[in-house]
Amino acid sequence: MEEKRFAVLIDSDNVSPKYTTYVLNEISNYGLITYKRIYGDWTEQNKESWKKAALGHAIVPIQQYSYTSGKNATDSSMIIDAMDILYSGNVEGFCLVSSDSDFTRLAIRLRESGMIVVGMGEKKTPKSFTISCNQFKYLENLASDDETVPVTDIKIIADSIVNIICETESEESGMNAGDLKSRLVNRFPDFDVRNYGYTKFSSFLGNISQVTLKAKGNIVALKQNRSEIDELRRFAVNVVTNSRRGCLNMGEVNSRILDQYPGFNIKELGYSKFVKFINDIPELHIDKQNNVILNP
C-alpha cells in the first residue's frame, strides 16, 4: 500500500528544539515526510539552537518578523502555509508541532478537508488543541523525559474498552486489537500507551482487568469470571423464585442484584446488556412485558 504523505510544520516559538529528532522519527511511522518547515523570527538571538536543529534535519526555516509586539506572527504564517499545502493536493496528512491552542481551528479545518492531523506538543499544550487532532503525541513521552504528562484516567480508558467491545457484533469472541486501538484513539486523540508507562498496546491491555488477550494477543475479549457469573445467576433465580407472583420486572431483578452486590457491572461480566445476562440463565426467561419468569 502506498505511503501517505505528510507535511511537518513546526512552531519554533512554542516547542523546544531538543525534540526535533523525536518528532521526525515519530511521524515517519505514519508515512512519508514531504514538507519540513519551521516558523519563527530567525533574527532573534534565542533562535540559535533552533537554527542548528533545522540545519541538521534539513528543515526549511520560514522567516516571519514580529511586526507588532504581543502578536504572534508565526501562527499566521504557519496557518497560511498549511492552507496553501492543503490546496496543492500534495499531502494526505499534517503534523502540527506546537504547544499553542491557536492551532486548534487549523487542525479542525484540515480534518474537515479529509486530512489526517497528528499534533505534537509539550505537556503544557491546552486540551482544546489535543482533542482537535486525529492523534496527539506528548513530546516528553517521545523523548522518554522523566516528566508527568496529563493523561485520561485509566479507569475511563478501561470502561471505554469494555464499551467498544460490547458495541461490536462479535462481542462474545472479541475484536482485533488494532481495531480496538484505532477506536480508542478516535475517542481520546491523546491516548498513547507511553502515557501510562508501556511501550506496547498488548502490555497496556494486560493491566486492564476486564479483558483478556487471545490468539497471540491479536484478539481482545471481555474476561468472564465463571464463578462470579454462576453466583449471580443463582441469586437471580432465587430472587424470582421467592417473589410472590413467581415473576419480577427485569428492572426489579437488576435492582435486587445491585442491593446485594453494590459493585455489580454487567459489562465487566462480558455482557453488553442486562437482558443478555438473564437470557443466558437456563431457569429464567423474559416475557413481552419485560417480566423475568421461571421456566416451567
Range 28-37 average pLDDT: 95
Q: Is residue 149 part of a domain?
A: no
Q: Decide if 163 is inside a domain.
A: yes
Report pLDDT for 106: 96
Distance CA 109, CA 171 (A): 35
pLDDT, tens digit (0-9, with 9 covering 90-100), for 105-160: 999 999 999 999 999 999 999 999 999 999 999 999 898 766 667 788 988 998 89
Establish if 179 belongs to a structural domain. Answer: yes
Say if residue 123 is in the same domain as residue 16: yes
Residue that terminates a domain, selected from 142, 176, 205: 142
For the segment 198-220, the average pLDDT, to the nearest whole number, is: 86
164 and 261 assigned to the same domain: no
Is residue 250 domain-shared with residue 275, that is, in the same domain? yes
> In whole angstroms, what is the distance from residue 258 CA to residue 265 CA?
9
- Tell me, yes or no, whether 84 lies in a domain: yes
State the pLDDT at residue 74: 64
Q: To the nearest whole number, what is the mean pLDDT of the chain?
A: 87
Strand order in the sheet with 219-222: 175-176, 219-222, 211-214
pLDDT above 70 (res 169): no
Query: What pLDDT does residue 228 have?
Result: 78
* Weakest mean pLDDT among 6-20, 95-109, 231-245: 231-245
Q: What is the dihedral of CA 198, 201, 204, 208, to 10 degrees?
A: 170
Q: Which residue has the higher pLDDT, 268 or 220?
A: 220
- Which of helix, strand or coil describes residue 289? coil
What is the per-residue pLDDT for 70?
44
Q: Quick one: 136 and 18 in the same domain?
A: yes
Q: Report, as an integer, the average pLDDT of 17-31.
A: 94
CATH number at residue 172: 3.30.420
- Domain assignment present for 148: no
Percent of the chain topping pLDDT 90:
45
Predicted pLDDT at 197: 85
Give me the domain span that covers residue 276: 226-294
The reply to whether 120 and 10 lie within a common domain is yes
State whether 290 and 238 are in the same domain: yes
Q: Tell me: do 209 and 251 sit in the same domain.
A: no
Give CA–CA dist 79/75, Å, rounded. Answer: 6
Q: So what's the pLDDT on residue 76?
A: 84
Assigned domain for 286 exists: yes
Q: Can you tell me the mean pLDDT for 35-45? A: 90
Report yes or no on 62 lying in a domain.
Answer: yes
Task: Go through the chain and tell me how many residues it has.
Answer: 296
Q: Within a domain: residue 281?
A: yes
Q: What domain count does the chain have? A: 3
Same domain, 164 and 282: no
Top pLDDT among 78 and 271 is at 78
Q: What is the CATH number of the domain that holds 84?
A: 3.40.50.1010
